[in-house]
Structure 1
Amino acid sequence: MAAVTVIGGGLAGSEAAWQIARRGLPVRLYEMRPAVTTPAHQTGDLAELVCSNSLGSYLETTGGGLLKRELELMGSVIMNAAAKTRVPAGSALAVDRQLFAAEVTRLLEAEPLIEIVREECREIPEGIVVIASGPLTSPSLSGVLQRLTEAENLYFYDAAAPIVLGESIRYDLGFWGARYGKGSADYFNCPMNKEEYLAFWQALVSAELAPLHEHELDEKGLPVFEGCLPVEVIAKRGEDALRYGPFRPVGLTDQEGRRPYAVLQLRRENTEATLFNLVGCQTRLKWGEQKRVFQLIPALQEAEFVRYGVMHRNTFINSPRVLNAGFQFREEPRLFLAGQITGVEGYVESTASGLLAGLNAARFAQGQDPLVLPRETMLGSLAHYIATADPRHFQPMNANFGILPPLDPPVRSKQERKVAYSARSMRVLADFWKAV
């Protein structure tokens, strides 16, 4: 039987290769290191962690913790290695990064069905292929991906606004409506009077910014995303700059027909209206500062942030245009994509995409239909988001309870709701996994 090719030996690629081999298929895993190095990697080990050594919370009452439990149930090699190399970190899953990468490398090298090829893969080979080349994809392979996805530019200067949980919004302190009443009332409007707006504006212009990295500056030392201004930069142009920009109240009236002094609009991020985007609020504020500043807006005083705003160079494709919920290319079904380049954010999310892409590559090779996990599971909902989000506003997403379908019946307590989400997910996944 012809080998399935996996390109990239990071978290996603290592997981994909393992899942394919576990299903009795030969795998050829391409990893260009150490022959070709990157600015971030230090070794030639597979699954080397180049940033934090923490894989995030291990609590089932967090989105990331639930996703870890799902991966464990499905036989993740990355979670296996993490458990063996764990270091004390409270409720987080942190690892000894050198031992962790060495353990993943050992496990894959010991698997007789996996052939590790230490060279750069410049073109997509024939046959079934999982592309998991990561955010540090080589220029030659980036060009191939660019042509494959028909993207003008694979490097996006990621200017994303914060996203909050719908259930954490104070709907009693705002109103639904479209500007000038045109179209349906799809936006939730967060009004402010003059005093509230000035307090918000003062906090915004004085808040602490996240630093920029060298590769995010041009030859003049200016941000490469200067054409997309952070909300705090607009605010610093004057007290009323936001009121004539993204916070303009013109054309908006509340239930009593009054026009607010300023308005922040929230746009639905998914069809279930469990997530909302802060329109026009792309920002470089530090994450703690974002929470402090935006919670000064009355309707957001209890807002729970599932994704903070970012402005940095990122590498991802517009997945809803080209991928299905099995991380498979719609127009090229022999090809699968995994890792951060799909628009998932985080170590564990990248691993999860690799697991599902690997499973489906193996099933495709064996003439089976790809697996689409139930929406009630965290991985199922993450894959659904990647495949169905609005391509006009697509931004990377991490594991969070806001992407899951609502509970039926609803649970009022915030903590009990998280417990119920987790219990439902594990129950549904266990039944589904047993059936397949």
Structure 2
Amino acid sequence: MDKLNIIGGGMAGSEAAWQAAEAGIPVVLHEMRPSVGTFAHRTGDFAEMVCSNSFRSDDDERNAVGLLHWEMQAANGVIMAMARQHRLPAGGALAVDRDAFSASVTAKLRAHPLISFAPGEITALPDDGHWIIATGPLTSGALAEAIRTETGAESLAFFDAIAPIVYAETIDMDIAWRQSRYDKGETEEEQKAYINCPMTKPQYEAFIDALLAAEKTEFHEGETAGYFDGCLPIEVMAERGRETLRFGPMKPVGLTNSHAPDTKAHAVVQLRRDNALGTLYNIVGFQTKMKYGAQTAVFKMIPGLENASFARLGGIHRNTFINSPTLLDNQMRLKSRPNIRFAGQITGVEGYVESAAMGLLAGRMAAAEIKGQDLPPPPADTAMGALITHITGGAEAKTFQPMNVNFGLFPPIDAKGGRRGRKDRYKAYTDRAKDAFTAWLG
């Protein structure tokens, strides 16, 4: 039987390899790390998480990304299985111990009898065989150039940012307190999954001043990429208005300071647990392009973090993706070279879950093709179907930008003579999607 070659061992490549191997197809997984490193990765493990450690909302009844979790689990997804195995308390979100998670995905892939591994960098597009390119936002320069040469146009690009991580023992818990927003979570541990640092109005104003004045990373001349709105650096948000952060990651609502229950904070900085030991916490929503020295000075202005030590500071990198609506067919194949599929973030989806989901589809579609079968995409009223429809023709090619899964990508729900409330409407979306996805799996 023909084998399937996959370039890239991130979320999408790992899931694609698992799905194809589970379908009985021999897989060769090519990964350049650790011999060829990137700005953001620290290891050679598969599915390494480099930005947040969260897969976002796990609500599969009223949230589009939670629905995507459900679909991936229903499709025997290795990423979702390992995420649940290594989940951390995070209120209504699915957060994981990032190191244990990637180590477990690596172990699962290495133990599979149909998956073999070819370390090293791929620098050119293959002429024959079955291939999936799942190299993500940090595609190597040589391969990115080969893709640009083939597609005949510059890849679109934007800048992506990483939030800092703090050692838990250095957070002053006489100032900070543990609580999830609105006490969300079924257990007491989940209801206290976040550490909160309160700010008065003068503290907030001083913080914004320092943030705006801090030395930032400057881009090279000619770099004109924008930012993905779902991952804006905090200083970019602050530049949009002094109150922007108070209505974003620093909003003070749904929280009561256990040290001063009657005092309402003007703003609140939240930190989310980053590993199972509870020794590391990442600062939620604090992606940044400040230089390292500036980060340390500015973040130590946050009450409770005055003596904080950082396991990792934030950073920013260039994120490339292709114009999928123009270049890919509905089987995720490159129209000019149909032996090559693309999957993951390089296709213009944004987020760990979305990337893995596109890897899942690419792996299943490639396996079906190798077997001489035809596997149509999932219906557009499923979460995976909405995403693949969007990137392979539903989006406007001229304005195509990375997109998280959201109900705006789904065909509208028939109100049947009356208007639905938002919660009822979202529940109707997920009910319809689950029925359609179950039928597609069958």
- Shift of residue 289, structure 1, vs aligned partner: 2.1
Aligned counterpart, 2:193: none
Residues 7 and 30, structure 1, Cα contact 8 Å, conserved in 2: yes
Aligned counterpart, 2:370: 365
Residues 39 and 317, structure 2, Cα contact 8 Å, conserved in 1: no
How many residues are paired up?
315
Deviations 1:123-148 (A, max 9, x none): 23330000001111111111111122
Deviations 1:24-70 (A, max 9, x none): 11000001111111121111110000111111110121111111101
Picking from 420, 427, 433, the partner of 1:412 is: 420
Where 1:392 maps in the other structure, the secondary structure is: helix
Measure, in 1, the Cα distance between the counterparts of 2:64 and 2:153: 31
Aligned counterpart, 1:314: 319
Deviations 1:277-311 (A, max 9, x none): 9xxxxx94359828969xxxxxxxxxxxxxxxx99
Aligned counterpart, 1:296: none
Aligned counterpart, 1:62: 63
Amino acid at match of 2:145: G
Aligned counterpart, 1:77: 78
Question: Greater CA deviation, 131-140 or 319-328?
Answer: 319-328
Amino acid at match of 1:127: G
Where 2:338 maps in the other structure, the secondary structure is: coil
Pair 1:87-2:88 in alignment: yes
Picking from 127, 130, 144, the partner of 1:128 is: 130
Residues 137 and 318, structure 2, Cα contact 8 Å, conserved in 1: no
Measure, in 1, the Cα distance between the counterparts of 2:320 and 2:82: 27
- In the TM superposition, what are the counterparts of 1:117-196 in structure 2 within 5 Å? 117-125=118-126, 126-152=128-154, 154=155, 156-157=157-158
Measure, in 1, the Cα distance between the counterparts of 2:401 and 2:427: 27
Where 1:65 maps in the other structure, the secondary structure is: helix
Aligned counterpart, 1:261: none
Measure, in 2, the Cα distance between the counterparts of 1:374 and 1:211: 48
Q: Residues 211 and 79 of structure 1: is their aligned pair in 2 closer, same or farther, counting only changes over 3 Å?
A: farther
Where 1:356 maps in the other structure, the secondary structure is: helix
- Shift of residue 225, structure 1, vs aligned partner: 2.7
Pair 1:329-2:331 in alignment: no
Where 2:44 maps in the other structure, the secondary structure is: coil
Residues 58 and 92, structure 1, Cα contact 8 Å, conserved in 2: yes
Pair 1:433-2:434 in alignment: no
Give me the TM-score of the superposition, normalised by structure 1.
Answer: 0.67
Where 2:15 maps in the other structure, the secondary structure is: helix
Deviations 1:141-197 (A, max 9, x none): 111111222223x352469xxxxxxxxxxxxxxxxxxxxxxxxxxxxxxxxxxxxxx
Question: Greater CA deviation, 116-125 or 424-433?
Answer: 116-125
Which segments of 5 or more consecutive residues in structure 1 lack a partner in the other structure? 160-205, 231-276, 278-282, 294-309
- Shift of residue 368, structure 1, vs aligned partner: 1.8
Aligned counterpart, 1:225: 224
Deviations 1:197-222 (A, max 9, x none): xxxxxxxxx9x8799973x6126xxx
Aligned counterpart, 1:11: 11
Measure, in 2, the Cα distance between the counterparts of 1:352 and 1:321: 21
Amino acid at match of 1:385: H
Which segments of 5 or more consecutive residues in structure 2 lack a partner in the other structure? 161-208, 230-234, 249-287, 289-315
Aligned counterpart, 2:167: none
- Shift of residue 115, structure 1, vs aligned partner: 0.4
Deviations 1:8-30 (A, max 9, x none): 00000000011111111100000
- In the TM superposition, what are the counterparts of 1:255-266 in structure 2 within 5 Å? none
Measure, in 2, the Cα distance between the counterparts of 1:334 and 1:289: 46
- Shift of residue 72, structure 1, vs aligned partner: 0.6
Amino acid at match of 1:8: G
Measure, in 1, the Cα distance between the counterparts of 2:11 and 2:405: 16
Q: Residues 62 and 211 of structure 1: is their aligned pair in 2 closer, same or farther, counting only changes over 3 Å?
A: farther
Q: Residues 210 and 141 of structure 1: is their aligned pair in 2 closer, same or farther, counting only changes over 3 Å?
A: farther
Q: Residues 420 and 44 of structure 1: is their aligned pair in 2 closer, same or farther, counting only changes over 3 Å?
A: same
Deviations 1:309-347 (A, max 9, x none): x99843111111011233222232211101111000000
Residues 2 and 370, structure 2, Cα contact 8 Å, conserved in 1: no
Amino acid at match of 1:390: E
